[in-house]
Chain A
Amino acid sequence: MSVNFEDKIPSGPLESKWERARNDYSRVNPANKRKFDIIVVGTGLAGGSAAATLAELGYNVKSFCIQDSPRRAHSIAAQGGINAAKNYPNDGDSVYNLFYDTIKGGDYRSREANVYRLAQVANNIIDQCVAQGVPFAREYGGYLDNRSFGGAQVSRTFYARGQTGQQLLLGAYAAMNRQIAKGNIEMYSRREMLDLVTVDGVARGITVRNLNTGEIETHTGHAVLLCTGGYGNVFYLSTNAMGSNVTAAYRCHKKGAYFANPCYTQIHPTCIPVSGHYQSKLTLMSESLRNDGRIWVPKEVGDKRSPLDIPDSERDYYLERIYPSFGNLVPRDVASRQAKFRVDENRGVGKTGVAVYLDFSDAIKRMGEKAVSAKYGNLFQMYEKITGENPYKTPMRIFPAVHYTMGGLWVDYDLQSTIPGLHVLGEANFSDHGANRLGASALMQGLADGYFVIPYTLANYLANANLPEVSADQDEFKDSRAEVAAKLDKLLGVNGNKTVDEFHMELGLLAWDKIGMSRNEQGLKDVISKIGELRNEFWQNVKVPGEKNYKNSELEKAGRVADFLEMAEMMANDALTRNESCGGHFREEFQTPENEALRDDKNYCHVSAWEYGGNSEKPSFTLHKKKLDFEFVELKTRSYK
C-alpha cells in the first residue's frame, strides 16, 4: 500500500471547501455502519467526542484509555475556555476573524483550509455542549458570557469558571456513557496502546497492555483513531499530567506514520516555578493574570534582597521597557523568552534563581485588595496552596513551562495519517495551530475533530476502502503481541542502576536547555549526540523493578521514556533543519535586531514531516516537505513593540 501524503484540500473558495467536501464524501448506510468496528485510543476531548458521536451513528466503537476512567484524560485540566465566533457580544466577530486570528497566531505555519473549517464548526461545538448540560458561565439575563483571550481583539471565549476543560470533558464523557450503556461503545480503561497493527499497509488493529494484569491483548478494527494528546512530557517537567506520553503516537510513527513539525512546542510564560530537584510537574497560572500583574526582576545582577526591600527605581519591568505598546501583554512565546533571558543574566529571583516576579502591589493600590480578589481570588489561593506564600503581600514568582505541542502526526484534510486507516485527532495531530497555538483553541480543535469532522471523513474512508476480514490469530497480530512482549522483557531485563525517573529528568534538562525556549545550531548538534548517549545508557543501565503480570507503574514509565528518548532526537533534528524562527520555534541565529522571530517564508513555508527508520537504540529520521499554500491571507510579520 502506498503512503498517503497528499493534503487532499477541496478545491474552490475557502468558505465553501468544507461544505463541498461533505457533499462529495461517500456515506455509509445505517445498516452497514454496524458492520464496522472503530478503535478509538484516548478519551480526552478529541477521543471522547469521536467515540460518542460515532457510536450514536451506529458504528461499533471500542474505546481505550490508560486512566482508570475515561473521565480523567488530561483535557480535564484545561482552565481558560473555548473559542467560537458566535459574536454574541456584538463586537464584530465572524468566522473569518476567528480563522484569521488563528492563522496569524500560528505564525503562518498552519493549513488555511483546516483552520477555516475549525472556525466554521466552532459555533456548533458551543451549541452541542450547552445541549449536553455543560454549565458555561452566564450573565444575569441567562445568556452565555464571553471573555477575552490573547491574540484577539474580540470577546469570543466561552468558559466555565477556571474549569472549562473539566466541564467539556465531562460532557463528552456523559455522551460516551450513554453509548456504553446502550452497548455501542465497549470501554477498555487502564489499557495502554503499545503497537499499531497494519495488514497490507492498512491500519487494522492495536496491541495494548492491560495495566492491571499485564496481559497483552490485540484488538481488530476497520479503522483506528488516535486521540492521545501531545508530547510535552519529553521535557520531564511540564503542565501535562504525569501520565501524558507520546508512546501510542510514536509507535504509529515507527510503523510508518510521518511525524510533522515536532519542533513546535508551546512554552507558557506564567507557571509556578520549580522549587527543588524532587519537582515532578509544573502548574499553570492563567494568562489572565498578566492583565493586572507587572513582571519584573532586580536591575542588579545577583540581588538577593526580599522583593519588598527593593525600591521601584532598582526594579527592571523588562516587558514594559522592551515592548512599551504591549507591555506585560505580549504573546506567550515573547514573554517566555524574555523571562529566560533574565534568568540567563543571573537576574532571576527566589531561592533557586530561576523565576521572575509577577507583582500585584500596584493593582492592589489602584483597585483595592477586594477588587483584585474578586478577579483573581481562586488563582491566588491556588498559588498559596502550592508555594505557601501569600501573593497579596509578596509578589508571585513565575517561570515559563512546557504546556502544549503543536507538532504531531501528519494528517491530510480528512485527518488521515500517512498510514491508510489511521486517523489522528486533537493535540496528537499537527494540523491546525501552526507554530504557536492561541489560548482557548485547544479545546476547540479537540471537539471539532471529534464531534464534527471525523464522522464525515471516516465514513468516506470506510465506504471506499477495501477491508477484508482480519483476525487476531493471523500473523500480523501474533507478531505484534510477540514484539510488544519482547520489548517489555527487554526493559525488565536490563536491571541496571538508574531509575526510569532519573533518565527522564536528565532528558528533560537536556531538552529544556537546548530544544526549549530558544535553540541554536551548535546546541542542537550537541544535544543530538547527548540524547544518543543517554539513550545508549538507558538500554544498558535502566532499572525497572517488579513484574510484568501485575500493575507496574515503573514498567509503564520505562516504555514511555524509551520513546521520549527517540522523540527528543527527532525534535532536535526538526529544529536544526528549520533555519528560521516562527512562533514557538526560536532559533537564535534568526532574529531581528529587536530579538523578534525572523521567519523565512521563501524557504520554510512548509510542513516538515519525518519518516522513521532504524531501531530503538539508533533511530533515523528522513525529512519530507509539504508546501503550505496561502491563497487567502497575506503573510505578514508580527510586531509587539
Chain B
Amino acid sequence: MSKDGNMTIHLEVWQQEGPNEKGHFLKYSLEQVTPDMSFLEMMDVLNTKLIKEGKRPVEFDHDCREGICGTCSMVINGDPHGPQKATTTCQLHMRSFKDGDRVVIEPFRAKAFPVIRDLVVDRTSFDRIQQAGGYVSVNTGNAQDANNLPVRKQDADMAFNAAACIGCGACVAACKNASASLFTSAKIAHLALLPQGQPEREERALAMVAQMDSEAFGACTNTGACSAACPKEIPLEHISKMYREFATASSRKRDS
C-alpha cells in the first residue's frame, strides 16, 4: 500500500461484445484506488482510463447507487454483489479490499439472463414472472377508504419484508441451478400475507410458478445460496411458502 493509503487492484473483468459473441477477461492493474471509493466508482475510474488509452470501456448496469433500484449486478470474486453481506455492488466500498488484491468481475450468469454486453444482462424474464400474476386486480378508482381494511401489524411487517425484494437477480446468480424461486416466492408471499391478495391467491401462485418454470430457470434444491447472497436478506422460508401455496392451489384446482 502506498503512504496515502491508496491501493493497487489487479482486475480481471469480463468483456463480451454482444449476446452471440465469445467473451474474455480484460486484465488491468488499477493504481491509486482509495478505500473510500465505492466499487462502481472504481469501475468509473477504470473506464476513464480505458477511454483515455483509446480502448473500449466496460459496460455495466447501475443506476441509483444507493442500493434500492436493483440495477447493478456483477459477480465479484465468485459472489453476486461481492463479499459484503446484505450489500449491493453499488454500496460496496473499496475498503473491503486490500492493496494487491486480484478482483475477478463477471456478469450474473444464468441461461435466463442472456448477456447483452460485458457485464450487462437481460433480466426481462423477471418482469414476465411478475406479469403472470404479481398484482392485485384493482382498477384505479375502485378502492375503499384505506382504514376500512385493518391488517395485523405482524402480517404487514412480514409482507413488507417480502416486498422489499429489489429484483436484482443475485439469487439466480448465486444458485447452482439458476433458480428464480426466491424472487418469485417473495412476491407470492407478499400478497398471500395481506387480505388484499386473497381473492387471487391461488391463481397467482399457479400462474407465477408456471411462468417461472417456462423461463430458462432451474429448479430449487433448497441449498439457501440465494438467501445468503440476497442484498435485502429475503428469507428462504418464502420458498417453502410458495410451494405450499402452489400445492394447495393445484390440489384444489384438481378437485374443482
Contacts and interface: CB of A to CB of B under 8 A. Distances in A.
Interface of A: 49, 52-53, 56, 67-72, 74, 76-77, 86, 88, 124, 126-133, 135-144, 160-161, 163, 166-167, 170, 173-175, 177-178, 180-181, 187, 189, 212, 239, 241-243, 275-276, 278-281, 283-284, 385-388, 451-452, 455, 499, 501-502, 543, 545-546, 550-554
B130 A241 contact: no
A163 B135 contact: no
Contact of A280 (B41, B95, B134, B142): B41
A238 to B, nearest CB: 11
B121 to A, nearest CB: 9
Interface string B1-41: 00000000000000001100000000000000011111011
Given A163-B68, A177-B130, A388 B136 contact: no
A55 to B, nearest CB: 10
Going nearest first, the 7 A-B pairs with the smallest beta carbon separation are: A142-B150, A174-B135, A131-B143, A127-B143, A135-B160, A130-B146, A551-B117
B59 A551 contact: yes
B220 interface: no
B124 A124 contact: no
B130 A452 contact: no
Contacts of A137: 156
B156 A136 contact: yes
B224 interface: no
A341 to B, nearest CB: 26
Given A131-B136, A131-B196, A181-B131, A68 B68 contact: no
Contacts of B38: 280, 386
B65 interface: yes
Contacts of A56: 139-140
B44 A278 contact: yes
B48 A501 contact: yes
A106 to B, nearest CB: 26
B249 interface: no
Interface in B160-187: 160, 163-164, 166-167
B89 to A, nearest CB: 13
A385 B149 contact: no
Given A71-B70, A278-B37, 12 more contacts: A128-B138, A130-B143, A130-B146, A132-B135, A142-B150, A161-B160, A166-B164, A239-B66, A241-B64, A242-B65, A502-B48, A545-B54
Contacts of B146: 86, 126-127, 129-131, 136, 144
Contact of B51 (A141, A143, A452, A499): A499
Contacts of A170: 163
Interface in B188-204: 190-191, 194, 196-197
A136 B163 CA distance: 11
B57 A545 contact: yes
A53 B55 CA distance: 46
B18 A275 contact: no
B71 A131 contact: no
B131 A160 contact: no
A618 B88 CA distance: 42
25 contacts: A67-B63, A68-B71, A71-B127, A74-B63, A76-B64, A127-B146, A135-B190, A140-B153, A142-B153, A142-B156, A143-B147, A163-B68, A175-B140, A178-B137, A181-B131, A181-B132, A241-B64, A276-B34, A280-B41, A280-B44, A385-B91, A501-B48, A545-B51, A546-B56, A550-B17
Given A68-B124, A189-B124, A135 B159 contact: yes
B136 A499 contact: no
Nearest to B17: A550
Given A135-B163, A170-B163, A386-B91, A72 B45 contact: no
B210 interface: no
A354 to B, nearest CB: 14
B48 A499 contact: yes
B76 interface: no
Contacts of B141: 124, 128
B136 A72 contact: no
Contacts of A386: 38, 91, 93
B43 to A, nearest CB: 10
A451 B130 contact: no
A180 B131 contact: yes
Contact of B163 (A142, A167, A501, A546): A167
B1 to A, nearest CB: 16
B233 interface: no
A495 to B, nearest CB: 10
A455 B131 contact: no
Interface in B48-84: 48, 51-52, 54-57, 59, 61-66, 68-71
A384 to B, nearest CB: 11
Given A53-B140, A128-B143, A140-B153, A280 B65 contact: yes
B116 A212 contact: yes
Name which of B51, B140, B144, B159 has the most chain A CB atoms within 10 A of its CB. B140
B5 to A, nearest CB: 11
Contacts of B56: 545-546
B160 to A, nearest CB: 4
B66 A77 contact: yes
A187 B127 CA distance: 10
Contact of B71 (A72, A144, A167): A72
